[in-house]
Amino acid sequence: MTFFAPFTIPFIAGALFMFAAIFLKWLWWTVKLPKVDRRLILHNFFTRNTLVAVWEVVRESLLHIRIFRVNPLLGYMHMSLAFGWFLLIVVGWIETSVYLGWEMIPIQGHIFFKYFTQVNNIDAHSALLENLMDGLLLLVLSGVALAWFKRMASRAMGMRRATKHALYDRIALSALWFVFPARLVAESLTAAIYGGGGFLTGSLGSWLGGVVPTEMLALIYEPSWWFYSSVLGLFFVALPFSRYMHIFTEIPLIFLRRWQLRPTLERKSYDNFEVEACSRCGICIDPCQLQADLGIHDTQSVYYLRDRRYNMLSLKVANNCLMCGRCEAVCPVGINLTTLRINSRAMRRNIPHEGRYGYLTNIDRSSGVGKVGYFAGCMTSLLPAVQRSMMQIFNAVGEDVWYADKDGGVCCGRPLMLSGETDAARKMVAYNTDLFRRYEITTLVTSCPICLRSFRDNYRLDGIEVLHHSEYIERLITEGRLRVAAGAEVYSYHDPCELGRGLKIYDSPRRVIEAVGTLREAEHNRRDALCCGGSLANTVIDDGKQQRIARRMTAELEATGCDTIVTSCPLCQKSIARTATRPTLDIAEVIAQRIVS
Amino acid sequence: MAYRVVIVGGGAAGMQTALELKSRGIEPVIVERDIELGGKVRGWHKLFPTFVPASDVLFPLAQRVKAARVRCFYGQEVTDIASDGVTLRSGERIPADAVVMATGFTLFDAHRKQEYGYGLYDNVITSVDLERMMNGGGVTLADGTKPQRIAILHCVGSRDEKVGQRHCSKVCCITGVKQAIELREMFPDADIFNFYMDIRMFGPGYEELYREAQEKYNIHFVRGRISEAAETIDKRIQIKAEDTLTGRPLRMTIDMLVLLVGMSANYENEGIAQRAGLELAPNGYFKTVDNFLGAVSSNRRGIFYAGAVTGAKSLADTLAEASLTASAVDDYLKEVFNK
């Protein structure tokens, strides 16, 4: 039996090139992994995590369950292409094996089986298998049709805006679109000339046999297989350099992630797996408020990752992000978009001038004595009412408190991290860690979610429990230490990005508010909450644009008909207060007003 | 029959426009939101740079308006304007041949700069509060005692992106100098400081007064904005600032902090402009056709501006502009109706 025909050369060459390129990429990325990461892989390889990863590959790389949650039609499109194609390969392999036994057949023998059955005079007409294969082809074709439809009417697929692709991706995309229609044509022509075929290729074949003259059929038969093989080959050659590399990157990424590898504030080889796992589906575009409120269309995560992958990332794109995490929350691949963006901000010289931080030695402006430490943070210092309310609460429960920065302190470091100045940030981290250790506190309360995020994510404060003031107040109320009077006031609550999506603290502030009044939820809340626009992370947009972002968010809060807007972040409070027509209070102020002594 | 012009706002700009129109044989009608005429100048003590009592300007103006029998609506708010009349909140419509917007400005709400503690700390007051104190029972601390150290902070709600106020309010610098001198006369032994970004002394006699404040009245000027204020246990105010001339951070405890609040555009401007098709400047003030020959004209024919409704202005500038507005309205009426 022969399994070679000249038309298979483009396919074979393309496939060989693709697998070689993918292998080299994987190898290079793995070799370059830092020691810590390689140790994590070895450590976690023979654990349950590996099995969990296998299951996740099935769910996410084949079935795309997370995209189904965004929009069922969009999920079906991705599933039909990925899972449908996968099944075509698997069932196709079974098909050849059924007829030819379990012997070694070259890969093109499987892929172009319909062609080689004629060449080798194999009688392969199982109605079950042929209909099954046609069914799968139809599944994939329906996905292709939806993909075309999505280009023209993305809104119907739950996306207001679809990704604008680079020329290179367009080539790969067009090749992919042609692969399955080309297969349909080639297999139908085969059926037209030689008979057979399932409900799809068979019917189309007999129809073609009726309308197209026999000489014509014979003339286009061979070229149709050439075309199918060529578009496959072209797609394979383009794949490692286009967005379709995500197919073969998401799989190792899922394993690496299950083995606890994570991106950090410094760039490292692991980032490649995250960056190239992006399929540029564009689901991240709609949630971006820079896009929705300001009409900025070049900075969303999909474009940021694309620019970073092709080494054309500008500092402006890297910096033009609120780091609100709304894109990260919906990313079906679960890429750590904010951390990646932070580490690509460190493109400038990242060595702080020593003299600039001279003030860090020998200063200590802390006061008070207690096991509970209170860190107001720079932003809270601009809202003395919040600090005062916290002191009222501490006094009401008789807590002995050590005030870390009542008379001025050192920044937690997160604003520096967000702007890529990680070395300078480390100086702040070291200073504050030392300060907390020296006063031997066991609990650290802060009223700033930005500080809280850095304490939890970037400090090593083992032995010190770090709490947001909403968590602390909730505990005081639950334990019965703080008594508050409920009233008729109606509140609406704004979830700060760093506290909500950043640290998953959604319930504590709500329980605290519900202890004193009625809470009404805004249209976007919890995981979907809008950003206030005042984020420290964006150094590109000006103040007027920040206010435009804030205005829509504030309007949603006011639309609840609340008497008072409540938030639990000093920065959010500043942003809201300047656009709101209703009083805006911090959660601590709300509680301090309602203390029953 | 005389042409009728509705003037929205009965402050200095509105009154002056009304008088000028009347003298040109046009019938002005003033619609005032408050229960009496006078606007923001009411409640002011003395005027810079000559220390003339504000009442010496306001009373004669109001007297002349009364004597001229200008029709005035009090306690009425205008919700919509057009070149042929205005609509009141009650729904009533006042037809007119032209309309003048003279609704002035809104004082910046010092609560919005919470870091200075206005409304939180007893002895943090605004420049407007200080004028009221001088008009009333006199200037004292919250406990009734005399202040020994006073700081006046410039640019509160002016030239401050963080509160969406990019513009200079023009009058605060000279007001700070004026109030410092007045405080010096009340408290000869007190330390008085002005914290400023830069001192803008553009008017006649202003620069001279600024020098006099330093040389004759021993008032200290520190270049640097105050970043934060905190209240001490004995109700004094601790301030943090940077002296940018020496490049050093500075901490100081004072008895009283006076915030020189700036001028903001009226909140209502946006809705009125949108419905009437008028253009607004980015800072929310009404936008004039140009700064030179069309400085009192709107982009809608028949609607004119007078005073601080188009941007921060001193009282002197406002009065001068109001006469110009009346002249522009007169020209318009002649052109449109007398052809």
* pLDDT tens digits, one per residue of B158-187: 999 888 899 999 999 999 999 999 999 999
pLDDT band for A108, please (50, 70, 90 cuts).
Answer: confident
Q: Domains plus CATH for chain B?
A: 4-105+265-337 (3.50.50.60), 110-262 (3.50.50.60)
- Substitution target from A541, A547, A574 for chain B, most B beta carbons within 10 A: A574
Q: Which of residues 98-137 of A touch B (CB under 8 A)?
A: none
* Neighboring chain B residues of A381 at a CB cutoff of 8 Å: 115, 228
pLDDT in tens, A427-472: 999 999 999 999 999 999 999 999 999 999 999 999 999 999 999 9
Please tell me the distance from the alpha carbon of residue B153 to that of residue B195, in angstroms, as a whole number: 5
For position A350, what pLDDT does the model report?
Answer: 65
Query: Among partner residues A381, A385, A544, which is closest to B120 by beta-carbon distance?
Result: A385
Q: In sequence order, what are the residues at sequence separation of 6 or more whose Cβ sits closer than 8 angstroms to the Cβ of residue A195?
A: A205
Query: Among partner residues B112, B228, B230, which is closest to A578 by beta-carbon distance?
Result: B112
Q: Is A536 on the interface with B (CB under 8 A)?
A: no
Q: Is A547 on the interface with B (CB under 8 A)?
A: yes
Q: How far is B113 from chain A (nearest CA, A)?
A: 8
Is residue B339 pLDDT above 60, yes or no? no
Please tell me the distance from the alpha carbon of residue B234 to that of residue B121, in angstroms, as a whole number: 11
Please tell me the distance from the alpha carbon of residue B134 to that of residue A217, in angstroms, as a whole number: 104
What are the DSSP calls for A325-379, one per residue? -HHHHH-TT---HHHHHHHHHTTS-----GGGGGGGTT----B---SEEEE--HH
Instruction: Give the rounded percent of residues in chain A with a pLDDT score beyond 90.
Output: 72
CA-nearest of A427, A505, A510, A424 to A466 is A505
What is the rounded average pLDDT for all residues in chain B? 95
pLDDT in tens, A279-327: 888 899 999 999 999 999 999 999 999 999 999 999 899 999 999 999 9
Q: Do B162 and A577 lie within an 8 Å CB cutoff? A: no
pLDDT band for B156, please (50, 70, 90 cuts).
Answer: very high
Please tell me whether the peptide bond between B28 and the residue prior to it is cis, using omega within 30 degrees of 0.
Answer: no
Long-range contacts, B215-220 (Cβ 8 Å, 24+): B217/B180, B217/B181, B217/B184, B217/B192, B218/B184, B218/B192, B219/B177, B219/B180, B219/B181, B219/B184, B219/B192, B219/B193, B219/B194, B220/B191, B220/B192, B220/B193, B220/B194
Q: Is A574 on the interface with B (CB under 8 A)?
A: yes
Query: Among partner residues B112, B229, B230, which is closest to A577 by beta-carbon distance?
Result: B112
Please tell me the distance from the alpha carbon of residue A389 to that of residue A366, in angstroms, as a whole number: 19
User: Distance between the two ends of chain B, CA-based, in angstroms?
Assistant: 16
Q: Which of residues 354-393 of A touch B (CB under 8 A)?
A: 381-385, 388
Taken as a whole, chain B contains a residue count of 339
pLDDT band for A165, please (50, 70, 90 cuts).
Answer: confident
Query: Among partner residues A388, A408, A543, which is closest to B161 by beta-carbon distance?
Result: A543
Question: Which CATH architecture describes the domain A263-348?
Answer: Orthogonal Bundle (1.10)
CB pairs under 8 A between A and B: 32
User: Distance between the two ends of chain A, CA-based, in angstroms?
Assistant: 94
Determine contact, residues B102/B37, Cβ cutoff 8 Å.
no
Q: Which residue in B has a C-alpha nearest to residue A359's C-alpha?
A: B249
pLDDT in tens, A489-524: 999 999 999 999 999 999 999 999 999 999 999 999
Residue A58 is given by DSSP the state: I
In order of A370, A379, A533, A545, the CA distances from A548 in angstroms are: 43, 21, 8, 5
Q: Cα A291 vs. chain centroid, distance in angstroms? A: 17
Using alpha carbons only, what angle is made at residue A48 by residues A46 and A51, rounded to the nearest 5 degrees? 95
Q: How far is A383 from chain B (nearest CA, A)?
A: 5
What are the DSSP calls for A463-490, one per residue? T-EEEEHHHHHHHHHHTTSS-B---S-E
Q: In sequence order, what are the residues at sequence separation of 6 or more whose Cβ sits closer than 8 angstroms to the Cβ of residue B189?
A: B148
Q: Do A388 and B120 lie within an 8 Å CB cutoff? A: yes
More confident residue, A70 or B235: B235
Please tell me the distance from the alpha carbon of residue A141 to that of residue A138, in angstroms, as a whole number: 5
Is residue A155 pLDDT above 80, yes or no? no
| Number of separate helices (H) and strands (E) present in chain A | 28, 8
* Neighbour count for residue B158 (Cβ, 10 Å): 24
Q: Is A578 on the interface with B (CB under 8 A)?
A: yes
According to DSSP, the residues that pair with B8 across neighbouring strands are: B31, B101
pLDDT band for A415, please (50, 70, 90 cuts).
Answer: very high
Alpha helix segments (H runs only) across B7-159: 12-23, 55-67, 127-135
Query: Among partner residues B114, B120, B164, which is closest to A547 by beta-carbon distance?
Result: B164
User: Are A365-475 and A483-592 the same fold in CATH?
Assistant: yes
Please tell me the distance from the alpha carbon of residue A490 to that of residue A488, in angstroms, as a whole number: 6
* Neighboring chain A residues of B114 at a CB cutoff of 8 Å: 382-385
pLDDT band for A352, please (50, 70, 90 cuts).
Answer: low
Please tell me the distance from the alpha carbon of residue A580 to that of residue B334, in angstroms, as a whole number: 45
Q: Do B114 and A385 lie within an 8 Å CB cutoff? A: yes
Tell me the Ramachandran region of residue B14: left when phi exceeds 0, alpha when psi lies from -120 to 50, beta otherwise: alpha
pLDDT in tens, A553-568: 999 999 999 999 999 9
Residue recorded with tokens 């609607």: B303
pLDDT in tens, B38-56: 999 998 999 999 999 999 9
Q: Do A578 and B229 lie within an 8 Å CB cutoff? A: no
Is residue B1 pLDDT above 70, yes or no? no
Q: Do A382 and B112 lie within an 8 Å CB cutoff? A: no
Q: Where are the domains of chain A?
A: 263-348, 365-475, 483-592
According to DSSP, the residues that pair with A468 across neighbouring strands are: A446
Q: How far is A541 from chain B (nearest CA, A)?
A: 12
* Neighboring chain A residues of B229 at a CB cutoff of 8 Å: 384
Long-range contacts, A21-24 (Cβ 8 Å, 24+): A21/A239, A21/A240, A22/A239, A22/A240, A22/A245, A22/A248
Q: Which fold has domain A483-592?
A: Rossmann fold (3.40.50)
Is residue A150 pLDDT above 90, yes or no? no
pLDDT band for A98, please (50, 70, 90 cuts).
Answer: confident
pLDDT band for B337, please (50, 70, 90 cuts).
Answer: confident
Residue recorded with tokens 């700033």: A448
Taken as a whole, chain A contains a residue count of 597
Q: How far is A482 from chain B (nearest CA, A)?
A: 24
Per CATH, is A365-475 categorized as 3.40.50?
yes
Q: What values do phi and psi take at B71, rounded to 5?
A: -75, 130
Q: Do A542 and B161 lie within an 8 Å CB cutoff? A: yes
Using alpha carbons only, what angle is made at residue A254 by residues A250 and A256, rounded to the nearest 5 degrees? 115
Q: Count of alpha carbons within 13 Å of A468, Cβ hemisphere only?
A: 29
